[in-house]
Amino acid sequence: MSAAPSDPAIDALKARIAAVPLGAATEERGIVLSLADGLARVAGLPGAGLNEVLDFPTGARGFVLSLEEDALHAVFLDPPEGISAGATVLRTGKVLSVPVGAALLGRVLDPLGRPLDGAPAPDVDALLPAERPAPAIIERDFVSEPMETGLLVVDAMFAIGRGQRELIVGERQTGKTAIAVDALITQSLRGTVCIYVAIGQRMSAVRRVIEAVRRHGRLDRTIFVIAPAADQPGLRWLAPFSATSMAEWFRDRGDHVLIVYDDLTKHAATHRELALLARQPPGREAYPGDIFYLHARLLERAGKLSAARGGGAITALPVAEIDAGNLSAYIPTNLISIADGQIVTSATLFAANQRPAVDVGLSVSRVGGKAQPGALKAVAGRLRLDYAQYLEMKMFSRFGGFGDAARLARGAAIAHLLAQDRFAPLPVLAQIALLAGLEAGVLDGVDGGRLLALRQALPSMVAADPVLSALGDTPARLDDGARAAAIALVRAGLGAA
């Protein structure tokens, strides 16, 4: 007697039933004791750990921010509507993680990797914890490769290297974001992976940044991680950490990454808000005692890896805002002590239309010359000193009868050269040619209009010059022949201007 033919559907169902593990299952549930402004106090979860994801009955998620002896504080990642005291909370046993991968390039995402640009969710298979330990000292390499911003005032006087952390700090509306975005656009055009993190910003300002990158840079090499002011405090707190994990995925594959945190002052305010709600003791300016550690463990994740680890690098440009020029405020001084230098913007220079409004007296790069191309260093050695002397002399010359006319003419030429329009990056070779002409006195007494025309025409002239173009993108030295060719090119450009 032959066996009855099997039904594929029944066979599949039996296979699924057989695959289900049998036995007791346990889950740990807690109870919401109280809620306040995006944060819940939860009891009954003794096994929960920091940064563990929790599920609430409405489907909203949160993560553990701090632990007490008999309770914990969970920060919401989704709107807490419908949740009240007495609601149950379920542990997931999963640490807070974010999607990573090449599919994130060109996308606008929230800190959890959810799309904000109307396109489908990025197709990624990998997840990384939002908080990860920084590379050990033995895994790092020296910061010695230049990272050009395209801004003459930065590249010539405060050079930034791959793997450096350079703070951009200044008063409100003095061009801090403009400097960071110009650097981001320049690097995206060079193929660097760029990540812009907006923390507590207005969406109108964020849209302007995205549009600027779309028009002038490469959107396909840029990731936008957005946590605007209207978002949950948990998302604003998470944004820089999740973006850094996305950057580390590229870095671990040997890529170079530039990440802009805009801005960490608002991130510190969010941390203070959550800490006060969690009843942590306040310290200076009502910030909790761990505020320094918060930003230190974030910025320490930037750096350049050794060749054994692939040689990738994360360069960080954190932005901080000060009030009334008070550079000694709590958060700015914390960030200055963590970073490898700072670019300070001046409200006075900004009002005088000297933009980028970089205060050369207060700005510094602690890597500086070690990451500057040798040829650029050869012609930029006295630039900062000459410009500082000019600014001081200009102040006293207003009283009449004081000042060296030659130095004033040289300083005025420097001021015109350092003033640079947005989205108009200068290649390194064009910067070298300009500064060589300045050093030779060719630009002394030249009016601003001709200098502007020269700066606009010089990149194409340098690219067409066989002597200068042979130097490469990061020339290590400038011999007499190349210097003479640069000066001749500047003279020719002035003649055509």
Tokens 């998470």 -> residue:
238
Contact 115, 109 (CB under 8 A): yes
Q: Are 63 and 142 in contact (CB under 8 A)?
A: no
| Contact in structure between 19 and 7 (CB atoms under 8 Å) | no
Inform me whether the pLDDT recorded for 476 exceeds 50.
Answer: yes
Sign of the dihedral defined by the CA atoms of residues 85, 91, 92, 96, in that order: positive
Percent of the chain with pLDDT over 90: 77
Q: What is the pLDDT of residue 1?
A: 47
The predicted structure's pLDDT at residue 12: 81
Backbone angles phi, psi at 148, to 5 degrees: -70, 140
pLDDT of residue 3: 54
| Residue-level pLDDT at 76 | 95
pLDDT beyond 60 at 441: yes
Higher-scoring residue by pLDDT: 286, 392: 286
Given pLDDT bands bounded at 50, 70 and 90, which one contains residue 445? confident
Lowest model confidence (mean pLDDT) among 98-102, 108-112, 440-444: 440-444
The pLDDT of residue 25: 66
Question: In b/e form, how buried is each residue of 201-217, taking b as 16+ CB within 10 angstroms?
Answer: beeeebeebbebbeebb
Point out the catalytic residue in the list 140, 297, 366, 422.
Answer: 366
pLDDT digits (tens, 9 = 90+) for 128-152: 999 999 999 999 999 999 999 999 9
Q: Tell me what the mean pLDDT of segment 418-445 comes to.
A: 92
Question: What's the pTM value of the predicted model, to 2 decimals?
Answer: 0.92
Note the pLDDT of residue 388: 87
Cβ neighbors of 33 (< 8 A, separation 6 or more) are 40, 41, 42, 43, 71, 85
Walk me through the domains of the chain, giving residue ranges and CATH numbers: 29-95 (2.40.30.20), 99-372 (3.40.50.300), 377-496 (1.20.150.20)
Residue 19 has a pLDDT of: 80
pLDDT in tens, 347-369: 999 998 999 999 999 999 998 77
- Report pLDDT digits (tens) over 412-431: 889 999 999 999 999 999 99
Mean pLDDT in residue range 27-31: 89
Query: What are 164-200's pLDDT values in tens digits?
Result: 999 999 999 999 999 999 999 999 999 999 999 999 9
Cα separation, 338 vs 352, in Å, equals 31
Q: Is 382 a known active-site residue?
A: no
